[in-house]
A and B are shown apart, each in its own frame.
Chain A
């Protein structure tokens, strides 16, 4: 089966750092994506990991451990506009298929 778990909600303070965790169990693994989604809007791509380790992209970093089926998204210097849902998605298959399995998302609220 396929299962992706993320916390439902998190809160943080403007200027702080927050880590959003994602654990997954899928039949095969071919990459993990993080997307940001503001309410009622389209998801937008944040990061991609296929090998173990940390990928840094400005205020956002994403980490992957394939042996543990674990990833996290780290957001630094939080801004009010970072209040959104953060979606962890796994691409389970190889061989030409680009299907993504999404977690339910973590709703992040940033307070002043």
Chain B
């Protein structure tokens, strides 16, 4: 158990809908990262937040957005869902940002199925 929690574990929804995925980082960690893992692709970096501020963006679609709240939990919002959005969505956290050795601890993931 990494200490990172994600809810829900599974989510099944229809095309065109909107969903919110939630992540609580490890106690004391200020950084939260979101990744998408599809069957045919590796882990794709989506976005990084540090202490409430967006720090880096990857290949995140405009239909997706995220935020980190004052209590450091984060939410990933996916809208106008398409079949291709079906994937495992992982959240990871780390203590800080910077050039130091900074392992990311991954949560158990949310499996999203779009029908």
Q: Could you tell me which A residues sit within 8 Å of B by CB distance? A: 30-31, 33, 35, 40-45, 48, 50, 87, 89, 91, 93-105
Contact partner, A31, options B31, B101, B106, Cβ 8 Å: B101
Size bracket, chain B contacts: 20 to 34
B41/A42 in contact, CB under 8 A = no
A94/B103 in contact, CB under 8 A = no
Q: Could you tell me which B residues sit within 8 Å of A by CB distance? A: 2, 4, 31, 33, 35, 41-45, 48, 55-56, 58, 88, 90, 94, 97-99, 101-109, 111
12 A-B contact pairs sorted by A residue (CB < 8 Å): A40-B111, A42-B107, A43-B106, A98-B102, A99-B45, A99-B48, A100-B33, A100-B45, A101-B45, A102-B44, A102-B45, A104-B42
A98/B45 in contact, CB under 8 A = no
Which applies to chain A's interface (DSSP): helix, strand, loop or mixed?
loop
A42/B2 in contact, CB under 8 A = yes
Given A41-B108, A42-B107: A98 and B42 interface contact (C-beta under 8 Å):
no
What separation, in Å, do the CA atoms of A100 and B102 have in the docked complex? Answer: 11
Contact partner, B97, options A31, A44, A97, Cβ 8 Å: A97
A43/B43 in contact, CB under 8 A = yes
Specify which chain B residues have a CB less than 8 angstroms from the CB of A96 in the assembled complex: 55, 97-99
Residue of A nearest to B45 (CB): A99
